Amino acid sequence: MTTCNFPPADAGIPALRAAPPRSGLGLKPEHFRTILDTLPELGFFEIHAENYMVDGGPFHHYLTRIRSRYPLSIHGVGLSIGGQDALDEDHLDRLAALVARYEPLLFSEHLAWSSHGEVFLNDLLPAPYDAASLQRVCDHIDRVHERLRRRMLLENPATYVEFAASTMTEGEFISEVVRRTGCGLLLDVNNAYVSCINHGRDPATFIDTLPLAATAQIHLAGFDRDADAAAAGEVLLIDSHGAPVAQAVWALYRSALHRTGAVPTLIERDHDIPAFPVLLAEARRAETLLQAVGAERAEYA
């Protein structure tokens, strides 16, 4: 394996190492037995960390067996990296134990907040892109690196509203976070598409503003279409993870791969979970594009 092309390690934290450029699937309990019975050809599985923050139980029983056969990625949804409070050290301890137990290839979290004071909000909310927020996010990521003794990936969010007080663009903000902390980028192509359509921007142009050299994983998912009651019924896309990947997102993914090169790509589905072969077909579509881009880049290298 080779290291990613972004800031080197410091303070004794190892550099993030590039994972094999394969496609993977989010691991769902509905598919535990099918996976173990059929052992499908896949690059990796990904779990949500918060579903496994206990010592035992059936989830760990199956995950241990699946982990013995496949690489794993762990994706956090509860650290509240973009929040104003200090990170929850108990949560971070449980996360560190999970990472030590399963030794995933990658660990990632969102550029978002979900808790404030003693209140936990069951959503991933946007942060303002200003100097104060930048410092807090960098401090939080430094703390994650220190506690986990590994580099994390930061995911660009899906947003429906923005702060008028922001003083930099999302691309500028994430680029500065990567530069200061040495974290990697989880490029969520669906999030980029959803946010840009909601805010009237061009998704491909937005992706070009991100620190793409730091991309170590890509997420693909489906969205729902709604009407924005605050904007005269204009279209509002919801990052639902409850539908197949849209054709527009597949096209944006292919375009992005030509900028990032072939990197591990996850198909996410968290609602209306279909039969396993349906998701496997989407993963294989991503794998075909990864191989095609890898071959094209090798030809012109």
Give the residue-averaged pLDDT of 94-116.
94
How far apart CA 191 and CA 225 sit, in angstroms, is: 14
pLDDT of residue 1: 37
Confidence bin at 232 (pLDDT 50/70/90): low
pLDDT digits (tens, 9 = 90+) for 235-283: 899 999 999 999 999 999 999 999 999 999 999 999 999 999 999 999 9
How far apart CA 20 and CA 235 sit, in angstroms, is: 37
Integer angstrom CA distances of residue 201 from 7, 130, 229 = 29, 20, 19
DSSP 8-state secondary structure symbol assigned to residue 103: -
pLDDT digits (tens, 9 = 90+) for 38-96: 999 999 999 999 999 999 999 999 999 999 999 999 999 999 999 999 999 999 999 99
The secondary structure of 1-54 as a DSSP string is --B-SSPPP-TTPPPPBPPPS-EEEE--GGGHHHHHHH----SEEEEEGGGG-S
Question: Distance between alpha carbon 205 and the CA centroid of its chain, in Å?
Answer: 20
Q: Is the per-residue pLDDT at 5 higher than 60? A: no
Confidence bin at 201 (pLDDT 50/70/90): very high
Integer angstrom CA distances of residue 284 from 4, 168, 237, 267 = 24, 37, 26, 10
* Exposed / middle / buried, residue 207 (Cβ in 10 Å: 0-12, 13-18, 19+): buried
Asked whether the beta carbons of 61 and 36 are under 8 A apart, the reply is: no
Q: Which of 12, 8, 186, 26 is nearest to 106 (CA)?
A: 186
Question: Distance between alpha carbon 196 and the CA centroid of its chain, in Å?
Answer: 17
